[in-house]
Structure 1
Amino acid sequence: MQRVGGSDDGITDYPRMEIACYDKDRAQAWQLAEQCRQLVLGSVKTRVGGVLVDNARTDNPPTQVPYSTSENVRRVQSFYRMTWRRTRSKINN
C-alpha cells in the first residue's frame, strides 16, 4: 500500500491509496485484493496507527494490470480514498 495523492487541511488528511496484490495464481491475487478491500472499507470508525479513520471508499475497484517484471505473476491493483484525523495528544499539566 502506498499513498498516491490526496490533500489535507491541517486537521483532516484525505489520502488516495493504491493497493497492489501479487500472486502466481490469478484467483489468489483476486482473493487477496478482495480481502484488502474489505479491510480498508471496514476501517471506518476505528483507530489505526494513531489516526481515527472517518471514511473509506473505493476510488477504482480491483483491476488486473500487466506486471512487466514477470509473465507468471498476476498483479491486481485498486485505489481508495480515505479520510482520517490524528487523535488529540494528551497535554501533561
Structure 2
Amino acid sequence: MINIKPVIYKELQKVADNVTDTYPSDWETFPVVIFLEEQNKPGDWFDDQEQKSSIRYKVDIFDDTSTSELAVKINQIFESLGLRRTDCQDVPDPSHL
C-alpha cells in the first residue's frame, strides 16, 4: 500500500491555510478544509501482494463566502495526482448568513 495522504495534505495547504484531517480546532480562520480518507479497500492482488486498492477521500470546505473557486482548485489538485472526483454537493446554510 502506498500512502499518498501526506502528498494530498501538502498540496491542499498550498490553497488553504486551515487544512485538517480531524475535527478543526480553529473555526475562526476561513476557509476550513477537512480532508478525510473515507474508505480504503483492497483491490487486485498479484504474487501475494496488494497491487491495487480503492480509496475514497472526502473533502469538506467551509467558508463565509462561496466555496466554488476553492472547490475547483482542490479538484485540480486531485486530478494532478491522478485521482478523480466522484461526487460534489453543496450543503445549504440553514442560517442564511
TM-score w.r.t. structure 2 length? 0.48
In 2, the alpha carbon distance for the partners of 1:2 and 1:71 equals 27
Structure 1 runs of 4+ with >4 Å offset: none
After TM superposition, the structure 1 = structure 2 runs for residues 65-76 of structure 1, keeping only pairs within 5 Å, are 65-66=91-92, 72=97
In 2, the alpha carbon distance for the partners of 1:67 and 1:12 equals 38
After TM superposition, the structure 1 = structure 2 runs for residues 1-93 of structure 1, keeping only pairs within 5 Å, are 1-9=35-43, 10-26=50-66, 29-44=67-82, 56-61=83-88, 63-66=89-92, 72=97
CA RMSD in angstroms, aligned pairs only: 2.1
In the alignment of these two chains, the number of paired residues is 57
1:12-56 deviations in Å (ceiling 9; x for gaps): 221111111111012xx1111110000001112xxxxxxxxxxx2
5+ residue gaps, structure 1, are: 45-55, 73-93
In 1, the alpha carbon distance for the partners of 2:78 and 2:85 equals 9
Of Structure 1 and Structure 2, the greater helix share is in 2
1:57-89 deviations in Å (ceiling 9; x for gaps): 22113x211467x654xxxxxxxxxxxxxxxxx
5+ residue gaps, structure 2, are: 1-34, 44-49
Alignment check: 8 A CA contact 1:7 1:13 kept: yes
Q: With a CA cutoff of 8 Å and minimum separation of 6, indicate the structure with the bigger relative contact order.
A: 1
Of Structure 1 and Structure 2, the greater strand share is in 1
> SS where residue 60 of structure 1 aligns?
coil
The percentage of aligned residue pairs carrying the same residue is 16
Alignment check: 8 A CA contact 1:2 1:19 kept: yes
